[in-house]
Chains A and B, each alone.
Chain A
């Protein structure tokens, strides 16, 4: 466990805070991936903060009926899908969370290596296909995808095969 996690004894629900810390320790990559898939540039941080807030809130409702990663994906994607760009400014005025949690941009870190391009292509997909692709890139099963999105597994499979083909085509075209 990260040393910071040991210090979480703030007012409120300790279990909720401890679970949130555990999620951040083990699954913070999901937050990054979802934020980068649904926002670009400076807005990535705004969306990541929004997702952090929803995750923290949702920790109080988590009963372990699904895996932690399925739950986190569900919360993060639900927030990203209904998040609108103009909300970012309002959220930033509300709190200085940006000083407490920072997210590196793909432009500065690894655009040369191609991760920035993967997100650029991903953001070109309709939101639902984008969500499925994101889950697929992380190796989430069709059953879990169905659990997260509410789509039937056959519908997930059909949509995903088309979306994957297009994604591979676009990424390979860049490398040719």
Chain B
């Protein structure tokens, strides 16, 4: 392969680059990598459960309220059902995605396709947040208002409605921003890399 280098001294320099990586304390380095790995695992776990945990929490809370309520318990249970729906949807899509990722081979192409699938999944969740989170959330709020008999008080209901709409609109904009700025560029970058690989 030396014909690719214009001279032998460059070839020698090329082959001798291992010395440029200085490991000062291998034991410390290994322990450090273990710690970083643990931190990364915790971060990934949080990323996967950050939306599911509050949804399950709300499901349990609303269910409990429904069991305690003397009037309109159905409204609490309906609110609990919407929270459960969100948690179930996220759980199912996360599991499906996890299975999908396991199927990619351990090659550069496989790794890029796995990363693309992961990023596209996240981008899609942020893009479709209205359907799987905001609408169930709005329904849940409505049921809670019914359960709390707030509709009897028109000005208060109007106040809640305005607050809920502003809150949900804020959530929508925030989620779309994360999807657009964090995940969609990665999807584009990975798609471009895969297109470089071309047809096999």
Q: Taking beta carbons and an 8 Å cutoff, which residues of A are in contact with B?
A: 2, 4-5, 7-8, 10-12, 17, 20-21, 24, 27-29, 31-33, 36, 48, 52-53, 56-57, 74, 77-78, 81-82, 84, 94-97, 99-104, 109-110, 113-115, 118, 126-129, 131, 136-139, 147-152, 155, 164, 167-168, 171-172, 174-175
Contact = CB atoms under 8 A, between A and B. Distances in A.
Interface in B1-55: 1, 3-7, 9-10, 13-18, 20-37, 39
Secondary structure of the B contact surface, majority rule: helix
Given A10-B30, A81-B111, 7 more contacts: A27-B18, A29-B21, A57-B33, A95-B36, A97-B32, A137-B14, A171-B5
5 closest residue pairs by CB, A with B: A150-B109, A150-B107, A29-B18, A4-B26, A78-B111
Contact of B197 (A78, A100, A109, A149): A149
A2 B10 CA distance: 27
Contacts of B15: 29
Contact of A4 (B23, B36, B189, B196): B23
A126 B195 CA distance: 11
B26 A82 contact: no
B9 A113 contact: yes
Given A33-B17, A82-B190, A150-B110, A24 B23 contact: yes
Interface of B: 1, 3-7, 9-10, 13-18, 20-37, 39, 105-112, 115, 186, 189-190, 193, 196-198, 200
A164 to B, nearest CB: 6
Contacts of A151: 109, 197, 200
A147 B106 CA distance: 9
A32 B21 CA distance: 7
Contacts of A48: 21
Contacts of A84: 186, 189
B106 to A, nearest CB: 7
Contact of B108 (A24, A95, A110, A131): A131
Nearest to A102: B22
Secondary structure of the A contact surface, majority rule: helix
A154 to B, nearest CB: 9
B10 A113 contact: yes
A99 B33 contact: no
B107 A10 contact: no
B193 A127 contact: yes
A71 B131 CA distance: 43
Contacts of A33: 14, 17
Contact of B21 (A21, A31, A136): A31
A54 to B, nearest CB: 10
Contact of A118 (B10, B27, B29): B10
Contacts of B9: 113
A28 B20 CA distance: 9
Contacts of A129: 196
B28 A100 contact: yes
